Amino acid sequence: MIRLTYASTAINEWSPEELLSLLKTCRTNNGAKNITGILLYSKGTFFQVLEGDEAAINNLYSVIEKDKRHTDVTVIEKQHITERAFPYWSMGFEKIDSKALSKMEGLNDFFEKDFTPAGFASHKQIIGPLLTHLRSRLIKQVTIDSHEELPMEHEDPYIRLLHRTIRIGVKFLALLMVIVIILGIVDVVYVIYQKIVQPPFLLMTINDMLEAFGGFLAVLIAIEIFLNITLYIRSDVIPVKLVVATALMAISRKVIVFDYKHLPPEYVSASALVLLALGVTYWLIQKKD
Ligand SMILES: Cc1cc2nc3c(=O)[nH]c(=O)nc-3n(C[C@H](O)[C@H](O)[C@H](O)COP(=O)(O)O)c2cc1C
């Protein structure tokens, strides 16, 4: 994956309608190519970050570069990355006030007059703080917009109270999950202690180990469920990958401790099918990412 950052100068000042239409194009096209990023516009200057597969970014950049609506297209940074800075936005958008930008921490050397392709190119050290700042702004936006189904600002006070109650309930569940995790860890430690103090001293049989593995996996599943709950509080992103991973772990845990002598073959076959379906689902999600 690569991240390409460039700036350019608009031929004419862009109206909000024109910007909106460009944003729509970006979101449709980039979403289909798994390209994410952010587009900034201020007083005739564009600043865009594109993240994704190298070939896809290079192809898109060669299209953008030829777009007659802007000129002076200047690459500021192009680097290989392992993680996206803007994973949730096929194209986030900020109509930025460049004066306000220069007041931000780490951007003090950056002046309003520098908000041009040449300004960005000669102040490459500001790109890091700028991306961090934009990312946190967008994350805040996602958090505020999140859970439209549970808005904190509903016009009906009764519904507002119900939504608030559900949110508190989710937080309480997260707290309970932490307690379960701690108890689970204590249980694993206790099981291992019991097994090693029993004769033969300091030795664990295969069955003892399987029992301990079951305990370990139960704790890991509890941690995954905790992450699901906290993700639910934090954003509107449905953690599908995490949910599937949790289900995979839960079923794997069962398989590890299966007692094949006493289980009916149909049960084992059905479990194998579920495991296969979850495995394929996880692989497909991973591939899409
Ligand atoms: C500053 C700027 C940024 C752009 N960014 C993107 C982009 O991220 N993705 C995209 O598909 N098109 C972007 N475009 C538009 C492309 O140049 C081109 O018009 C568009 O990809 C054509 O899409 P279409 O074939 O769906 O009409 C941008 C144009 C400008 C001027």
pLDDT of amino acid 287: 80
pLDDT of amino acid 153: 61
Answer yes or no: do 138 and 249 share one domain. Answer: no
pLDDT digits (tens, 9 = 90+) for 205-236: 888 888 888 888 889 888 888 877 776 665 54
Domain assignment of residue 77, yes or no: yes
Q: Which of 156-160, 199-203, 238-242 is predicted with the least confidence, judged by mean pLDDT?
A: 238-242
Give the residue among 85, 31, 81, 89 at the shortest CA–CA distance from 60: 31
Answer yes or no: do 201 and 237 share one domain. Answer: yes
Please check the confidence at residue 61 and state whether its pLDDT lies above 80: yes
Query: Which of 145, 178, 196 is the last residue before a domain boundary?
Result: 145
Instruction: Give the distance (Å) from ligand 1 centre to CA of residue 64.
Output: 5
pLDDT digits (tens, 9 = 90+) for 127-139: 887 788 777 776 6
Please check the confidence at residue 7 and state whether its pLDDT lies above 80: yes
Answer yes or no: do 100 and 221 share one domain. Answer: no
Please tell me the residue having the least CA distance from ligand 1 atom 12: 26
Answer yes or no: do 40 and 73 share one domain. Answer: yes
Please check the confidence at residue 152 and state whether its pLDDT lies above 80: no
| Percentage of the residues of the chain whose pLDDT score is greater than 70 | 81
Domain assignment of residue 130, yes or no: yes
Q: Judge if the beta carbon of residue 67 lies within 6 A of ligand 1.
A: yes
Instruction: Give the distance (Å) from ligand 1 centre to CA of residue 111.
Output: 28
Binned at pLDDT 50, 70 and 90, residue 56 comes out as very high
Q: Judge if the beta carbon of residue 40 lies within 6 A of ligand 1.
A: no
Query: Which of 90, 122, 145 is the last residue before a domain boundary?
Result: 145
Q: Judge if the beta carbon of residue 7 lies within 6 A of ligand 1.
A: no
pLDDT of amino acid 42: 81
pLDDT of amino acid 67: 95
Between 148 and 129, name the one with better pLDDT.
129
Q: What is the mean pLDDT of residues 187-210?
A: 87
Answer yes or no: do 188 and 220 share one domain. Answer: yes
pLDDT of amino acid 69: 96
pLDDT of amino acid 111: 64
Answer yes or no: do 74 and 13 share one domain. Answer: yes
Q: Judge if the beta carbon of residue 63 lies within 6 A of ligand 1.
A: yes
Domain assignment of residue 228, yes or no: yes
Question: What is the residue range of 228's domain?
Answer: 157-288
Between 26 and 64, name the one with better pLDDT.
64
Domain assignment of residue 151, yes or no: no
Instruction: Write the DSSP assignment of the chain as a string of letters.
Output: -EEEEEEEEESSPPPHHHHHHHHHHHHHHHHHTT-EEEEEEETTEEEEEEEE-HHHHHHHHHHHHT-TTEEEEEEEEEEE-SS-SSTT-SSEEEE--HHHHHTSTT-TT--GGG-SHHHHHHTGGGHHHHHHHHHHHHHHHHHHH--TTS-SS-SSHHHHHHHHHHHHHHHHHHHHHHHHHHHHHHHHHHHHHHHHHSSSTT---HHHHHHHHHHHHHHHHHHHHHHHHHHHHH-S---HHHHHHHHHHHHHHHHHT--TTTS-HHHHHHHHHHHHHHHHHHHHHHHH-
pLDDT digits (tens, 9 = 90+) for 21-50: 888 888 889 888 889 888 888 888 898 999
Domain assignment of residue 152, yes or no: no
CATH at 120: 3.30.70.100
pLDDT digits (tens, 9 = 90+) for 9-25: 999 988 888 888 888 88
Instruction: Give the distance (Å) from ligand 1 centre to CA of residue 11.
Output: 15
Distances (CA, A) of 171 to 74, 110, 223, 226: 47, 41, 15, 10
pLDDT digits (tens, 9 = 90+) for 83-118: 888 876 666 666 666 666 666 665 666 666 677 888
pLDDT of amino acid 150: 57
Domain assignment of residue 102, yes or no: yes
Q: Judge if the beta carbon of residue 8 lies within 6 A of ligand 1.
A: yes
Instruction: Give the distance (Å) from ligand 1 centre to CA of residue 116.
Output: 20
Answer yes or no: do 113 and 11 share one domain. Answer: yes
Map tokens 């495995």 to a residue.
279
pLDDT of amino acid 151: 58
Domain assignment of residue 150, yes or no: no
Q: Provide the whole-model pTM.
A: 0.55
Instruction: Give the distance (Å) from ligand 1 centre to CA of residue 201.
Output: 70
Answer yes or no: do 126 and 198 share one domain. Answer: no
Domains identified in the chain, total number: 2
Q: Judge if the beta carbon of residue 68 lies within 6 A of ligand 1.
A: no
Please check the confidence at residue 260 and state whether its pLDDT lies above 90: no
pLDDT of amino acid 89: 66
Please check the confidence at residue 169 and state whether its pLDDT lies above 80: yes
Answer yes or no: do 49 and 107 share one domain. Answer: yes
Q: Judge if the beta carbon of residue 60 lies within 6 A of ligand 1.
A: yes
Q: Which atom of ligand 1 is nearest to the CA of 8?
A: 1
Domain assignment of residue 17, yes or no: yes
Average model confidence (pLDDT) across the chain: 82
Answer yes or no: do 17 and 133 share one domain. Answer: yes
Query: Which of 116, 145, 174 is the last residue before a domain boundary?
Result: 145
Answer yes or no: do 141 and 8 share one domain. Answer: yes
Binned at pLDDT 50, 70 and 90, residue 273 comes out as very high
Answer yes or no: do 170 and 215 share one domain. Answer: yes
Most confident of 59-63, 229-233, 256-260: 59-63
Q: Judge if the beta carbon of residue 30 lies within 6 A of ligand 1.
A: yes
Q: Judge if the beta carbon of residue 14 lies within 6 A of ligand 1.
A: no
